[in-house]
Amino acid sequence: MNRPELRRQLQVLASRYPGAHPYTLALSFQAQTGRVLTGQQVKQLLAEPGNCRKQPAKP
């Protein structure tokens, strides 16, 4: 799984559980995909700038 796809899946998961702790999101992600991430990794991935629909389009 590439990094942008991983970030997109985490963003979807985070939108499903607003306010959830990164460790909780990591556990949910592991349960759904079988891939192990730490809470710190989840926090870093969600903090990265990316192609998020909430960001304005760049000119």
The pLDDT tens digits for 24-48 are 999 999 999 999 999 999 999 999 8
Confidence (pTM): 0.75
Do 29 and 42 contact (CB within 8 A), yes or no? yes
Backbone dihedral angles phi then psi of residue 31, each to the nearest 5 degrees = -65, -35
Q: Three-class SS of residue 56? A: coil
Where in the chain are the domains? 3-47
Question: What CA–CA distance (Å, rounded) separates 36 from 53?
Answer: 26
Do 30 and 36 contact (CB within 8 A), yes or no? yes
| Closest listed residue to residue 51, CA positions, set 13, 17, 21, 11 | 11
